Amino acid sequence: MSLKPKDPLLAAARIVLFIAMGAMAVASVATLIAAPAIVIYRDAVLAQLAADGAPAEALGALVAIMALVALCTALGFLFFRHMARIVGTVGEGDPFIPANARRLSAMGWIVVAVNVASIPLVSILRWLESVTEHLHTDAGHDIDGLLLALVLFILARVFREGTRLRDEVEGTV
């Protein structure tokens, strides 16, 4: 059973995922450019940090933030690419394939990796907030990402089982 190629939900999902992948790619490139720029323009950055009341150590913190954000946005790109490929198989009418189970598992691990990367990121942001006058963040840790990872791992198992059952039925017919 194949879905209509003009399914509006799938078309909207493809557009949203394309935009999300583009945003993640732009953010990754921007932060990868910003990290060395902070070092290259060290004197100007240090002057601005001093004006905000931050110690010189904040320079290293900014570079670390850029690196961690680059990592998280690159992982975000991969997450959305996996999702776009899953949407593609839904549009083809055959989502219960081993590749989608692997994609869902990979998406779960990506979410775990982003949550792990957020630990030092949030710590650095909180430290920067404590040593500057004008920085205020809402950065924090929550359980939502880990719950998403759990859901993705469970869905991966569902897809593996669905694939197995479909193959079993096809083998008996």
Question: CA 88, CA 107: separation in Å to the nearest integer?
Answer: 16
What distance in Å separates the CA atoms of residue 46 and residue 24, rounded to the nearest whole number? 28
End-to-end alpha-carbon separation of the chain, Å? 17
In a domain? residue 148? yes
| Count of domains observed in the chain | 1
> Tell me: the pLDDT tens digits for 137-148?
888 888 999 999
Domain, as residue range, for 120: 8-172
Whether residue 124 is contained in a domain is answered as: yes
Residue 43 lies in a domain: yes
Residue 3 covered by a domain: no
User: Would 1 be classed as within a structural domain?
Assistant: no
Residue 171 has pLDDT above 90, yes or no: no
Confidence of residue 89 (pLDDT cuts 50, 70, 90): very high
- Structural domain contains residue 75: yes
pLDDT of residue 139: 80
Instruction: Give me 112's structure tokens.
Output: 């775990």
* Ramachandran class of 2: left when φ > 0, alpha when ψ lies in -120 to 50, beta otherwise: beta
Is residue 2 in a domain?
no
Distance CA 138, CA 114 (A): 17
- Per-residue pLDDT averaged across 57-73, rounded? 96
Is the predicted pLDDT of residue 4 greater than 70, yes or no?
no
